[in-house]
Amino acid sequence: MNNLLEETKFILKKYGISANKSLGQNFLINEEVIKKMIEGAEVSKNDLIIEIGPGLGTLTKELLEKAGKVIAIELDKRMIEILSDRFALYTNFELINQDVLKVNLKELISNNKIQNGTVKIVANLPYYITTPIIMKLLEEKLEVESITVMVQKEVADRLIEKPGGKNSGAITYSVYYYATSANIIEVMPESFIPEPSVESEVIKLTIRKQVPVQIQNEELLFKIIKYAFMQRRKTLVNALEKSGIFNSKEEIIKILKKLNLNDRVRGEALSLEDYANITNLVTKM
Ligand code: SAM
């Protein structure tokens, strides 16, 4: 018998609710996956854990046992009622009823960090906003040690790919810039109710203490990468020509030549260092 399946069904019935698909609600019912997620995240009593989308609290319950403090951010009011009842006796639990994309995470972390402790993010993410959430967590340069999240497998492949690899996209370069990455566990649709139509994977991003390339203008670097991947079938020169970043097509060719890169090269073949070198040679203000 699967206890988590029974427990999840019981809670849904007790509160007379069902999963809201448009909020990406797929509830975890696989104990082994939860165990691996917590082990992978290396949760300890020194940690402040930020959980995004706690739902009915299945992962939250385990986090509360292992962590110093858990702050859970949930958009759905119906879940807030359930979580408040379920964890009323836990003094290390705080709940925020808000869209995670609108939360001031920097402030939240600095107000709640455990002295000499670390901050980690652990979540089974709502798949419809995986990318904006991951980008927010990385770009805001939060005082966070690692991000351990369940995402759609296809997205995981892109996030943990090395720049220039077969699965790489613009986001691959961003993730690589800010973090090192690892696969924790692959997860089948049967591990959730309702079952999602895709396979999932738990990945861990460990934030780098130092970025891996020398760069003068970070914003420009990511703008160039974005343009290079917007039209990935084109050569890099043609993809960048209309970006407005360079004075002319000839200038792009000149920069590539200077870096010993072929002017027929496609954006997906370049390393992060290549993009950093191109960015550092941009002259247009
Ligand atoms: N953690 C639970 C579990 O593993 O069973 C639920 C995970 S479910 C995949 C995603 C959760 O994210 C849902 O509870 C959903 O309501 C919540 N959610 C969706 N959009 C959100 C947002 N913008 N901000 C915060 N939570 C959100």
- CATH number, domain containing residue 103: 3.40.50.150
Q: Give the residue, by CA position, lying nearest to ligand 1 atom 23.
A: 99
173 & 260 share domain: no
Residue located via tokens 């070198």: 277
The ligand 1 atom at the shortest distance from the C-alpha of residue 20 is: 16
Is residue 43 within 8 A of residue 21, CB to CB? The reply is no
Which of 4, 29, 52 gets mutated to test ligand 1 (max ligand atoms within 8 A of its CB)? Answer: 52
pLDDT of residue 209: 96
Average pLDDT over residues 219-247: 93
Beta strands at 118-124 and 179-187: parallel, antiparallel or unpaired: unpaired
Nearest CA to ligand 1 atom 19: 23
pLDDT band at 29; cut points 50, 70, 90: very high
Do residue 160 and residue 231 come from a single domain? no
Domain final residue, candidates 149, 172, 207: 207
Please check whether residues 12 and 133 belong to one and the same domain: yes
pTM: 0.95
The closest-lying atom of ligand 1 relative to the alpha carbon of residue 101 is: 23
Residues 33, 39, 45, 50: is their CA dihedral positive or negative?
A: negative
Backbone angles phi, psi at 95, to 5 degrees: -125, 135
Angle, helices 153-160/130-139, rounded to nearest 10 degrees? 30
Q: What is the pLDDT, as a whole number, of residue 231?
A: 84
Position 148, amino acid: T
Residue 40 in domain:
yes
For 226, the token pair is 């974005």
Q: Is residue 89 domain-shared with residue 200, that is, in the same domain?
A: yes
* CB of 70 closer than 8 Å to CB of 60: yes
Claim to verify: residue 66 and residue 128 sit in the same structural domain: yes
Is 173's pLDDT higher than 80? yes
Please state the rounded mean pLDDT for residues 83-101. Answer: 98
**Average pLDDT value for residue range 112-131:** 96
Which amino acid, one-letter code, is at 156? A
Which domain covers residue 197, as residue numbers?
A: 3-207
Is 213 a domain residue?
Answer: no
Taking residues 160-180, what's their average pLDDT?
95
Atom of ligand 1 nearest to the CA of 55: 14
Does residue 107 belong to any structural domain of this protein?
Answer: yes
Structural domain contains residue 156: yes
Domain assignment present for residue 53? The answer is yes
Do 196 and 246 reside in the same domain of the chain? no
Mean of the per-residue pLDDT values of the chain = 96
How many angstroms separate the CA atoms of 42 and 186, rounded? 18
Three-class SS of residue 93?
Answer: strand
Instruction: Name the nearest CA neighbour of 142 among 69, 270, 48.
Output: 48
The number of distinct structural domains making up the chain is 2
What is the structure's pLDDT at 232? Answer: 78
Please say whether the beta carbons of 264 and 199 come within 8 A: no
Q: Give the model's pLDDT for residue 242.
A: 87
Question: Span 40-68, mean pLDDT?
Answer: 98
Please tell me whether residues 203 and 237 are part of one structural domain.
Answer: no
91, 225: one domain: no
Length of the chain: 285
Nearest alpha carbon, ligand 1 atom 21:
75
Decide if 41 is inside a domain: yes
CA 31 – ligand 1 centroid, Å: 18
Does residue 51 share a domain with residue 136? yes
pLDDT at 152 over 80: yes
Determine phi and psi for 244, rounding to 5 degrees.
Answer: 80, 5
pLDDT at 283: 81
**Are 152 and 197 contained in the same domain?**
yes
What's the gap in Å between 117 CA and the centre of ligand 1?
A: 26
Per-residue model confidence (pLDDT) at position 1: 60
Among 207, 231, 264, the domain-final residue is 207
Averaged pLDDT, 183-196? 98
* Residue 22 included in any domain: yes
Q: Which residue has the tokens 């084109």?
A: 234
Cα(56) to centroid(ligand 1), Å? 9
Quick one: which of 149, 153, 179, 178 has its CA closest to 167? 153
Closest atom, ligand 1, to C-alpha of 34:
4
Based on the fold, state whether residues 138 and 279 are members of the same structural domain.
Answer: no
Tokens of 217: 């203008």
Q: Please give the DSSP secondary-structure letter assigned to residue 189.
A: G
Pocket perturbation via mutation, ligand 1, pick of 5, 25, 38 by most ligand atoms within 8 A of CB: 25
To test the ligand 1 pocket, which listed residue (7, 30, 32, 75) has its Cβ within 8 A of the most ligand atoms? 75
> What pLDDT is recorded for position 222?
96
How high is the pLDDT of residue 184? 98
Note the pLDDT of residue 285: 63
Looking at 146, 176, 207, which one is the last position of a domain? 207
The pLDDT value given to residue 2: 81
- Residue 203 shares a structural domain with residue 222: no
Q: Angle 282-274-159 (CA atoms, 0-180°, nearest 5)?
A: 115
Question: Is-contact 58 34, C-beta < 8 A?
Answer: yes
Residue 284: pLDDT over 80 = no
Cβ < 6 Å from ligand 1: which residues?
Answer: 23-28, 52-55, 58-59, 73-76, 79, 99-101, 124, 126, 129
